[in-house]
Every structure is written in C-alpha cells, then in structure tokens.
C-alpha cells in the first residue's frame, strides 16, 4: 500500500464536548463571556435576561426568552472575526515570547489563551447572534449562527441523520449600518457610561437549562467576585474599573453585597491572626509577611519549615550523611494575605463569632487571583484546593487549621507564574508538572507553620489567661481562715468547720495524687515510644536470624560451629532487648522506686546506649564533658530517664532537619555547680517559641504532643530542681539549643 497522508477532521459533536460538556455550569459560561469583555478593554459589561415569564412569583423560561451580553469594548473587525473568533485555540492572545500579553488601551493582562471560552455560549443556548463594532466604525458586523437545526450531538440536521464535521457547519457574517451599537447612555449599578458607540453584543436564544430569579441573583453575586473582593474590603479601588451589571426583564439585579461590608468588619476586628503583605520569594527561598503588623521572615532552610513533613515529602531529599537537600520550587513568586479565626473563642473574647458571623466566614475560603482576576472555583465554600481539610482527615484535626477558619487570597501573575495555567474547563489550575504541586505544597507548608507556631502561641496565651482566672478563684484557703475567725468559740460550728476542712484536704490530696500519676504515665508513654523503635528493630532482626537458622538447619548446610556462632549472635540481639526493657521498666511506677542519691552519669550512660544507633544513623557526634566531682540527684531512675530521653529526642529531631557539616550533641556534667547542660548545634529555639516551650501541649515539632519538656519541668519542680534555657554565655556550649538542669534545691541555694 502506498503511503497515505491523513488529516484530523473533528466531528461537529466536538462542539458539544467543548461547550456543553466541558463547561461545568451556566455561571462559568457567563464568566467566560464576561472575561472576553474584560480582554476587549471594556469599561462595562451588561448581562440581560429578556422576556422571561413570571408565574406564581417564579421566573420561567419561555420560547421568546433571551440572554444578552453586551459591552463597550474594542469590538471586532472582519479580519478578527475570520481569523480569531472563528478559529478556536488561536495563538493571537499569547505573546511571541510566551510571556504575558496586554490590551492596547487599559494595559490589562489578557486572561483568555485557548479561545475555548467562546464555546461557552453553547452551554446557554443554540441560537446566537453576535453584533460587533469597532471605534469610529460606521458599520457593525453581525455573526449569525443557528445551531437549533441540529440535535444535541450534531448527528442530525432538521431531523435527518447526517455525518457532520465541524467544517460542515456554516456561519453567516455580514455588515450593515450601525443600529444596535450606537452612542447611548448605559447605567449600571448607579453608574453612567456615555462612550458606547463600540463594543460587542451577544444575543442568545433557544435557551438551554433552567433559570429562576434566585439562580440569576446568585450568578450576579458570583460575577462580582471576578475582580478581587479584598480590594473592595480594604479600600484599594482599582484605577482600571470594570463594572458588571445584571438585569431581569429591564429590572436591575442589585450588585451591592452587604456581606462584603460585614466580612470586612470581621476580617479586621475578629480574626485572631492577620497575616498581611505576605510574599514568597523564589530566588531568596523565603516567606516574608506581617502577623498582626509585626514583620517576619522565614527561609525554607529554617527548621520550622524544613522540619514539616508536608514540606519534606515534596521538597527534601537526604545526602549520604543524612543532611537534608532542599530542591528549588518552580512555581514562581506569589503574594498572599490570610485571616485566621477561632470558632471556639469564648463570648467574652474579642474574637468571638456568633452563629451568623461563623456562617459568613464559612462562605469564603482562600481565593486565587491571577493579575487581579479570579481563578474559579478557588474561594468557593465547598472548594478545598489548598488541601487543608484533606490533611486534617489524615492526621489529628487539631494539627491543622481547618479550611473554613481561614479566609484570604493568593495573588499570582502570568509574568511571575507562567507555569501556573488554567484548566481548559476553567476550573482551577492544571495539575501536570511540578509547578502547581510546588505552589500548593508551599501554601500548605505556610499554613501548617501558622498552626504550629503563631496560632499555637495564641492558644497557649488563652490557657495562661484561663489559668490566671482560676488562680484568682482559688481563694478557698483564705476563705477558710475568714470563716474560722468568724466562728469564735461556737463548739458545734467549730466541729462542723473542722469536718469540712478535713474533707476538703482529703479531696485535695486525692486529686493531687491523681494529677501526679497522670503526669508520670504521660512521661512513661513518651519515653517508651522513643525507646521502642530500636527494640522493635532488634526484635525483627532476631526473628529474621531465627528463621534463617531454621532454614539452614533443615537444609543441612551448617556445621555445629556455625550453628553455635549463629545462636550466639541471636543471643546478643535478645540480650540488647533485655537490657533495654530493664531500663524502661525503671520508668514504671509499679517498680516501687524510692528516691535515692543517683549519679547522673550512670543514667546518662543508659540513655546513650538507647540512642547509640540513632546517633550513628543521623551522623551526630556525641560528647560528654565532665567537670569536677560527680553530679548527683536525689530522685528516682525514672525521672532522670524521662528527662534525658526527652532532651535527646528533641535534639535528634531538630538536628535531622538542618544541613550542617558536623552535627553535635554535648552533655556537660558540672560537679562544682551540680548542673547538667544539654547542648546541640541545631537550629536552636525560635525567639517567638521561647516563652512557651515548657508549657503543656505546645510543640515546635510537627508530630510533637507538647508534653515532653512540660513533664520534665514538672517532675524536677516536685523535687525542688529546675530546667531552663541557658541565659548566660558560659551556659551556651553550642550554637543551637542549650538546656540547663540544676540539681541544687532552691531552698539550698
């Protein structure tokens, strides 16, 4: 067979797929036509629903009903109609360099690229008449195409089956003296426009779908979000005004949205955190932003970012020495503003929201704007494009901000973000390639940081305020004294008083013991969890060695000496497990330990054994510096084990997220001052975290419970000892975190 050259020739049914099936709903279809007006440098666009019937206070589509979209844009010449409008996916909207292209008059960044938007008309109706006129043009052109003669799938014409291709469909274009697009005054949303002898008018009839007043009002409301609602909220009225108006049977649909004013008030006065003027700078690899008017800068290498699993899984790989290597993002620079609410705030709090206010907040999410034009459906209440709620579903919900408690916007541009492109169906960004994924992961990372640090600090401050309130209420003892003095020598009253005080003291002691037990158990759980990793690993190796030995014995391939050597190796493995378990048993209250004078270095040796393999795996150098006489503590083994395990665990975690040539942990035992100084050369404690690190449930670690250091401090305080951050140069042994444990009781100083 000789070579044959074939051409792609789409069936006319493709029009249905591009228009009715690709475009999700009428709102998106109208939005595409409105954006066409924007790209044409129009000052206004008007959407009119004409000859709709009113029956029983309901709007009904009739045979004469029409939707008319008109604007005062630049209009189209015959050449534009023939070479652009009639040719979908035309490249004329893209600059030759692939960069942004702007409109000639208003310097707007052109939104449309693919030319698919024109087929949105088919989502609305089957008869289309387009009238267009350029400035100073005497005539207007009419594009007239009636697709109502075809069935929905373009398989029949006038009821007769026919194999139809796209190029079988003819469109009539003609010109005549201007009669529709002429000088006239157009009033939209109480604003008058006079220069209107140019533009485009699209009349759609033989309508598809169903319309009612509520639906039209909702589409009108959503159309007002085409441009940033936040510019309106914060009074940043654009010099380039683009007014959008809707009418039903010559009756104006109100464009004023009181909820915008109400939302503005909530954002400015009821949000817990106002994150403003945020910028992600790709070359500098950092976030810059303000939180409640205070400036912050976060580089990606910062442990508060690099340590987050969301970020690590996507951006971080490890070299041969387990040092993290952070890849560059490819999404480009972007800016952002977020407003964080607390739906659990008490009524007496300035952040309190009533049910109506909560619903208003929940109507808005994180909007995305490209060159100040919205990328739909991002920002809709049922859209979770940043993936916050998905993350909450896979983890503890309290670890993430919920999608509905964050309102805000992200700004991108075609110039800075050429790889972030709209889907053809105009529903969000294309997910192919790494740019969109980079973009979303960076947003997830920033919001995760916000939850772990500034929002957690806010919550912790609330706890402290509540605790202070409780302390003010704890005046029972003083009240008892007042009551005792007022009784005098009344024997019966005095007996009753003594009984009440006795019962109170018994209950107080009971609850104190309960609290102490709970604290002990929580500490045991955290410590066992840490030590169990190596135990489980060794058990697995032991089981594997036994299984291999059984196979080898069955196969008669081992000598008695080799069997003996294998058994000794297995015994060594289980001896390690036995030693580890004996050390862990010391943590349990059931071991009936009594306080005794313990040499701290003995317990330190046990913990070093537990962490030996972890330190090797993470390439961390450990040094122990002993000065003077031994450091002793009068306590139990369990308390020292919990203290040291928590310190090692924190140090290993933070050292794992930094890229430094040599990772170090140094434990200094200072016998002269009876101190233990625990130091590492990791990222250190962030200044904004320092006031909270010993508070319950506050943790800079992503998976941390915020109990380790809190429990350690509580246990030491019970004994009269203390643990604090180093605050003098002599105690800052390494440049990272430095903890000072004092084993001299406060009453002995």
Domains of the chain, first to last: 13-256 (3.30.565), 261-449 (no CATH), 475-592 (no CATH), 595-749 (3.30.565.10)
Residues 6+ apart with CB under 8 A from 60: 52, 53, 54
Contact 287, 335 (CB under 8 A): no
- Own/partner long-range contacts of 343-348 (Cβ < 8 Å, ≥24 apart): 343/405, 345/272
Residue 410 and residue 368 in contact, taking contact as beta carbons nearer than 8 Å: yes
Backbone angles phi, psi at 146, to 5 degrees: -115, 105
Pairing state of beta strands 58-60 and 191-193? unpaired
Q: Is the dihedral of CA 470, 475, 476, 477 positive or negative?
A: positive
How far apart are alpha carbons 325 and 541 in whole angstroms? Answer: 31
Phi, psi of 661 (to 5 degrees): -60, -45
CA distance 476 to 503: 13
Looking at residue 302, the DSSP 8-state letter turns out to be S
Cα separation, 249 vs 51, in Å, equals 6
Cα dist. 466→269, 345, 588 in Å?
A: 22, 12, 32
How many angstroms separate the CA atoms of 293 and 276, rounded?
8
In this prediction, residue 591 carries a pLDDT of 46
Give me 25's structure tokens. 């709903």
Residue 295: C-alpha distances to residues 211, 270, 713 (Å): 49, 20, 32
Per-residue pLDDT at 513: 55
What is the enclosing helix (H) or strand (E) of 663?
A: strand 663-670
Which contiguous run of DSSP H or E holds residue 735? none
* 656 vs 323: CA distance, rounded Å: 7
Q: Which two tokens stand for residue 189?
A: 């949303």
Q: What is the pLDDT of residue 749?
A: 46
Task: Find out whether 389 and 402 touch, Cβ atoms under 8 Å.
Answer: yes
Token digits of residue 406: 């964050």
User: Which candidate, 445, 218, 429, places its Cα nearest to that of 326?
Assistant: 445
Alpha-carbon torsion angle 377, 378, 380, 383, nearest 10:
100
- Of 39, 106, 94, 108, the closest CA to residue 71 belongs to 39
Mutual angle of helices 637-655 and 491-554, in 10-degree steps? 60
Report CA 229 to chain centroid distance, whole Å.
Answer: 21
Strand, helix or coil for residue 273: strand
443: CB partners within 8 A, 6+ apart? 336, 366, 386, 410
Please list the rounded mean pLDDT of every run of 10 residues in the chain (749 residues).
80 68 77 89 94 84 92 91 74 53 86 66 87 92 85 74 78 90 88 90 90 87 85 70 90 75 88 95 96 93 88 87 86 95 87 90 92 88 86 69 90 92 77 87 94 88 65 56 69 73 64 53 51 56 68 69 71 60 54 73 86 85 92 84 85 88 93 93 87 76 68 82 89 92 72
Closest CA to 287 of 310, 272, 305: 305
Dihedral in degrees, nearest 10, Cα atoms 588, 590, 595, 599: -40
Secondary structure class of 140 (helix, strand, coil): strand
- Distance (Å, rounded) from C-alpha 62 to C-alpha 75? 30
Whether cis (ω within 30° of 0) applies to the bond prior to 377 is: yes
> What are the backbone dihedrals phi and psi of residue 39, each rounded to the nearest 5 degrees, phi first?
-65, -20
pLDDT of residue 473: 44
Q: Is the dihedral of CA 722, 724, 729, 732 positive or negative?
A: positive
Record the pTM.
0.72
Six-digit token pair at 527?
Answer: 């410590």
Please state the separation of Cα 437 from the chain's center in Å: 13
Integer Cα distance of 675 and 673 in angstroms? 5
Per DSSP, the residues of 403-456 read GGGEEEEEEE-TTT-TT--B-TTSSSB---SSHHHHHHHHHHHHHHHHIIIIIH
Rounded to whole angstroms, how far apart are CA atoms 708 and 646? 6
Buried b / exposed e over 271-282, threshold 16 CB at 10 Å, is bbbbbbebebeb
Q: How far apart are CA 199 and CA 180, in angstroms?
A: 10
Strands (E), 225-341: 243-248, 251-253, 273-281, 286-291, 294-299, 316-318, 324-326, 334-340
Between CA 458 and CA 448 the distance in angstroms is 15
Instruction: Tell me the C-alpha distance between 580 and 146, whole Å.
Output: 83
- Report how far residue 308's alpha carbon sits from residue 682's, in angstroms, rounded to the nearest whole number: 15
The packing angle between helices 355-362 and 258-269, to 10°, is: 100
pLDDT reported for residue 294: 92
Write out the two tokens for 150: 């075809």
């Amino acid at each position: 067979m000789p070579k044959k050259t074939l051409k792609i020739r789409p069936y006319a049914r493709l029009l249905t797929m591009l228009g009715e099936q690709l475009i999700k709903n009428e709102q998106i279809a109208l939005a595409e036509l409105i954006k066409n007006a924007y790209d044409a440098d129009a000052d206004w666009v008007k959407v009119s629903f004409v000859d709709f019937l009113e029956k029983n206070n309901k709007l009904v589509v009739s045979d004469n009903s029409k939707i008319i979209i008109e604007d005062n844009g630049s209009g189209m010449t015959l050449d534009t109609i023939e070479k652009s409008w009639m040719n979908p996916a035309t490249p004329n909207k893209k600059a030759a360099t692939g960069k942004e292209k702007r409109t000639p008059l208003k310097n707007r960044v052109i939104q449309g690229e693919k030319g698919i938007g024109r087929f949105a008309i088919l989502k609305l109706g089957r008869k289309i008449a387009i009238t267009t006129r350029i400035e100073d043009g005497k005539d207007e052109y009419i594009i007239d195409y009636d697709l109502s003669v075809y069935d929905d799938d373009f398989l029949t014409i006038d009821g007769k089956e026919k194999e139809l291709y796209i190029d079988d469909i003819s469109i009539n274009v003609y010109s005549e003296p201007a009669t529709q697009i002429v000088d006239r005054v157009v009033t939209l949303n109480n604003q008058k426009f006079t220069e209107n002898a140019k533009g485009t008018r699209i009349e759609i009839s033989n309508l598809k779908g169903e319309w009612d007043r509520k639906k039209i009002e909702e589409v009108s409301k959503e159309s007002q979000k085409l441009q940033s609602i936040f510019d309106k909220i914060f009074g940043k009225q654009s010099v380039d005004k683009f007014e959008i108006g809707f009418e039903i049977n010559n009756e104006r649909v109100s464009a004023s949205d009181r909820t915008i004013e109400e939302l503005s008030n909530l954002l400015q006065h009821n949000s817990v955190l106002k994150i403003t003027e945020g910028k992600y700078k790709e070359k500098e690899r950092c976030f810059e932003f303000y939180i409640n008017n205070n400036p912050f800068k976060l580089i990606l290498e910062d442990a508060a970012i690099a340590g987050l699993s969301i970020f690590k899984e996507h951006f971080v790989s490890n070299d041969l020495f387990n040092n993290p290597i952070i890849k560059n993002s490819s999404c480009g620079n972007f800016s952002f503003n977020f407003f964080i609410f607390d739906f659990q705030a008490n009524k007496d709090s300035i952040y309190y929201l009533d049910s109506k206010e909560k619903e208003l907040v929940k109507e808005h999410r994180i909007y995305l704007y490209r060159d100040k034009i919205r990328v739909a459906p991002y920002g809709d209440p049922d859209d979770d494009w940043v993936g916050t709620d998905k993350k909450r579903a896979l983890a503890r919900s309290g670890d993430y901000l919920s999608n509905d408690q964050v309102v805000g916007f992200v700004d991108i541009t075609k110039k800075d973000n050429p790889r972030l492109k709209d889907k053809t169906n105009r529903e969000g960004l294309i997910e192919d390639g790494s740019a969109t994924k980079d973009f979303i992961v960076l947003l997830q990372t920033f919001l995760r940081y916000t939850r772990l640090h500034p929002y957690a600090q806010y919550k912790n401050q609330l706890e402290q305020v509540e605790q202070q309130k409780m302390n003010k209420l704890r005046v029972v003892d003083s009240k008892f004294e007042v009551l005792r003095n007022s009784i005098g020598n009344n024997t019966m009253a005095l007996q009753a008083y003594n009984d009440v005080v006795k019962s109170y003291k018994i209950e107080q002691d009971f609850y104190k013991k309960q609290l102490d037990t709970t604290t002990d158990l929580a500490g045991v759980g955290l410590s066992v969890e840490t030590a169990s990793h190596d135990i489980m690993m060794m058990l697995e190796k032991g089981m594997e060695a036994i299984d291999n030995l059984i196979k080898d014995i069955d196969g008669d391939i081992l000598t008695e000496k080799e069997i003996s050597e294998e058994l000794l190796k297995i015994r060594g493995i289980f001896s390690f497990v036995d030693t580890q378990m004996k050390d862990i048993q010391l943590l349990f209250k059931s071991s009936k330990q009594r306080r005794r004078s313990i040499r701290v270095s003995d317990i330190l040796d046990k913990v070093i054994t537990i962490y030996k393999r972890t330190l090797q795996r993470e390439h961390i150098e450990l040094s122990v510096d002993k000065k003077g006489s031994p450091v002793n503590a009068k306590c139990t083994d369990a308390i020292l084990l919990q203290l040291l395990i928590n310190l090692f665990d924190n140090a290993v975690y933070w050292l794992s997220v930094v890229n430094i040539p040599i990772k170090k942990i140094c434990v200094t035992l200072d016998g002269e001052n009876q101190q233990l100084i625990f130091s590492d050369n990791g990222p250190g404690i962030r200044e904004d975290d320092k006031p909270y690190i010993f508070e319950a449930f506050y943790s800079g670690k992503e998976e941390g419970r915020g109990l380790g250091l809190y429990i350690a401090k509580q246990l030491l305080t019970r004994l009269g000892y203390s643990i604090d951050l180093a605050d003098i140069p002599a105690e800052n042994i390494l440049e990272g975190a430095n903890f000072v444990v004092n084993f001299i009781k406060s009453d002995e100083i």
